[in-house]
Amino acid sequence: MEIRYYLKIIQRGWWLILATTLVAVNISLVYSYYVTIPMYEAVARFIVSPNLQNTDNRDMVNSIEALDKRSIISTYAEVLNSHQVVNSTKSVLSQNPTDFDAYITTVTVLPETNIIRLSVKGPNPEVAAMLANSIGQNAIDFVKNLYVKNNIDFLDRALIPTDPYQPRPAQSAGLAFIGGLILGVGLAIFKDQLSDTLDKLSQRKMVDAESQAFKRVYFERRMRQEIINQPETVLTLGVIHLMGIQEIYDSLPQAFLNQILRRVTETLKNELRGNDIVGRWSQVEFGILLPSTSGLSATSKIERIRTALNQPISLEGDSGGEIILDPRIGFADRQIGQSINVLISQVERAVEHSLESDKKVVRYKVQPFG
C-alpha cells in the first residue's frame, strides 16, 4: 500500500519532478561550460633504487633492506613535496612566485612499490607539466647531494595534458540528473503532504465538526457563487427542521448528538445529486441547495428526503436507543433577479408555517401557502 501511495504521488507530481530535473541538469551544464575554469593535471613518476656506482655489494644489500622498510621512500616523497623544493623551483621559473598560486602539488607513494607520484593541477596544461618536471628535477638534485647509497630519478616525465580533469559536463550532468530526480520526488511528496494538510485545514473552516456538513457561512457562499455563475437559471433552497430533537438537544450526550447529526448528513447526501449541497443551517436545522432545479421538480425529491429522515435512528452505545427526527421541511425556488436574502426569508417562513401547521413539507409560493 505504501509503495502504491507514493507511486500515485509521483504520478500526480510528474511535472514537478521533470521541471526540477531539467533545471538541475541545465544549471550543471551552464556551470560547467561558462563558470568553471578548466583545470588540468600533469603527472610525473619517480623511482627510488640503490645507487650502483657508489655502493659495494654489502651496502647494496643494506640499501635494499632500507627500501623495504619504506622509510627512504617516504623521506624522498616528503622532499618532493617540501616547501623548500617547491618554492625554490617556482622562484627559478618566475620572478613573481604568485604566478603559480593557482597550481596545487600532491605527492603520493604508490602502494607496494618504490615509485613516487607527483601531481600538479592548474588552469594551464603547459605550465602544470613544466612545473611538475621542474620540481622533480630540483628534488632529484637535492637528494643526490644528501644521499649517496640510494638514487631517485624520473620514471615518467610529465606530459602536457590534453583533456581537463574538471569540469566534466557529461559526468556532472549525469549526477545533476540523479540529484534533480531525487529532489523532484522529494518536492512532489512534500507538495502532496502540504496540499493534504492545507485541504484538511480548509475543510475544518468549511465543515461543521458535529454533523460533517458544510457550515452555514460556506453554504451561503456557495449559494451566492451558484447565482453569480448562472444568474438566469432557477435553483431551490430547502431547510429541514428536526422537530424530534429540538426539546432534547441540550440534554443529549455529545457522542449521541454527533451520531444523529452525521446520520442526517449521510442520508441527505445519499438522497441528493452530486452537485447538490448540504449544510448545517442551525442547531437542529439543515439546509439543502438544489442548483438548476425548480420548486415543482424538487417536490418529489424533498418528499423522499422527509421519508428517509423519518425512519428511527438507532444510537450505538450502552444507553443507546432510538430517535425519531420528525423532520419539517420548508423550501422555495429562486425566481430570476431575486436576491438571496429574499429567498432565505421565504424559506424560513415556509419552515415556520410547517412547524405551526400539520404539514410536514411546505413550499413557499408567490401567494404563500395559499
Name the pTM for this structure. Answer: 0.51
Assess if residue 231 is contained within a domain.
Answer: yes
Which carries the bigger pLDDT value, residue 18 or residue 58?
18
Is 217 found in the same domain as 112? no
Beta strand 327-333 with 361-363 is: parallel
For residue range 303-360, what is the model confidence (pLDDT) as tens digits?
Answer: 999 999 999 888 776 566 788 899 999 999 988 778 889 999 999 999 999 998 878 9
Is 184 found in the same domain as 330? no
Is 211 found in the same domain as 199? no
Assess if residue 294 is contained within a domain.
Answer: yes
Is residue 40 within 8 Å of 164, Cβ to Cβ? yes
Neighbours of 327 (CB within 10 A): 25
Q: In terms of C-beta density within 10 A (0-12 exposed, 13-18 middle, 19 or more buried), how is residue 260 classed?
A: buried
Instruction: Say yes or no to pLDDT of 2 above 90.
Output: no
Number of domains in the chain: 3
Is 335 found in the same domain as 216? yes
Is residue 188 within 8 Å of 16, Cβ to Cβ? yes
Is 239 found in the same domain as 327? yes
Is 223 found in the same domain as 174? no
* Contacts of 312-315 spanning 24+ positions with Cβ under 8 A: 313/259, 313/260, 313/263, 315/256, 315/259, 315/260
Assess if residue 370 is contained within a domain.
Answer: no
CATH number at 74 reads 3.30.70.1130
DSSP string, 257-307: HHHHHHHHHHHHHHHS-TT-EEEEEETTEEEEEEET--HHHHHHHHHHHHH
Confidence of residue 370 (pLDDT cuts 50, 70, 90): very low
Is 247 found in the same domain as 211? yes
- Per-residue model confidence (pLDDT) at position 40: 94
Q: In terms of C-beta density within 10 A (0-12 exposed, 13-18 middle, 19 or more buried), how is residue 112 classed?
A: exposed
Assess if residue 369 is contained within a domain.
Answer: no
Domain assignment of residue 219, given as a range: 207-363
Is 151 found in the same domain as 11? no
For residue range 166-214, what is the model confidence (pLDDT) as tens digits?
Answer: 888 888 888 989 998 999 888 888 888 777 766 666 666 788 889 999 9
The grid cell for 277 is 449541497
Is 346 found in the same domain as 228? yes
- Mean pLDDT, rounded, of the chain: 85
